[in-house]
Homo-oligomer: A and B are copies of this chain.
Amino acid sequence: MSRQGTRGVDLRKVNGELFSLTYGALVAQLLKDYEDDEEVNKQLEKMGYNIGVRLIEDFLARSNVGRCNDFRETADVISKLAFKMYLGIQPVVSNWSAAGDEFSLLIENNPLTDFVELPPGHSQLNFSNILCGVLKAALEMVQMEVDVRFVQDTLKGDNITEIRLKFVKRLEDAVPVGED
């Protein structure tokens, strides 16, 4: 495996199909456990949160990115660096609110949903909801409280998958990750 990481860190890659099938097994297990779509969404977000807390350190170490000056810069880093690095895709940043405190990530080929078709009767399931948790936690760890939610999903018949991020507030009460 070639080493491509910055700062000599090995950027290990695994195959997207294997990832997608493994993630699918996780969602299927949760559907079996909880039955209710909203509860599964919550569990997925919680799992994503735990992952985001771990992943942000890895991301800061690899990307060598500094503190973002505004939410637009944050959006760019998420799309061009984070999604690219972890999922191999680069969502389009779009639909900014007039106040500049909300934007959407538009995803054309979501690697989590290769092979996936929602079973009937699960119209409330946000299959890839783990991503919301990851984003929420990762941003919280760099002192930004953000609301993250799915607003469109190709799995539900929408033309595109859209994740909406809304800036809530800057958190000031702790030392940001990577700046201690």
Identical copies of this chain, number: 2
Query: Interface 1/0s, chain A 79-100, versus B by CB < 8 A?
Result: 0000001111100000000000
Pick from A20-28, A147-155, A171-179 the stretch touching chain B: A20-28
Q: Which chain B positions have C-beta within 8 A of A18?
A: 19, 51, 55, 86-87
How far apart sit A26 and B29, CA to CA, in the bound complex (Å)? 8
Q: Which chain B positions have C-beta within 8 A of A13?
A: 13-16, 88
Known: A26-B29, A29-B33. A87 touches B17 (CB 8 A): no
Q: Is A118 an interface residue (CB 8 A)?
A: no
How far apart sit A1 and B85, CA to CA, in the bound complex (Å)? 10
Q: Nearest Cβ distance between residue A70 and chain B, in whole angstroms?
A: 27
Q: Which chain B positions have C-beta within 8 A of A50?
A: 21, 25
- Partner of A55 from the list B17, B55, B85, B111 (CB cut-off 8 Å) is B17
Q: Nearest Cβ distance between residue A114 and chain B, in whole angstroms?
A: 8
Known: A22-B23, A23-B22, A25-B26. A14 touches B88 (CB 8 A): yes
Which residues of A are in contact with B by a Cβ distance under 8 Å?
1, 11-19, 21-23, 25-26, 29-30, 33, 47, 50-51, 54-55, 58, 85-89, 111, 114-115, 130
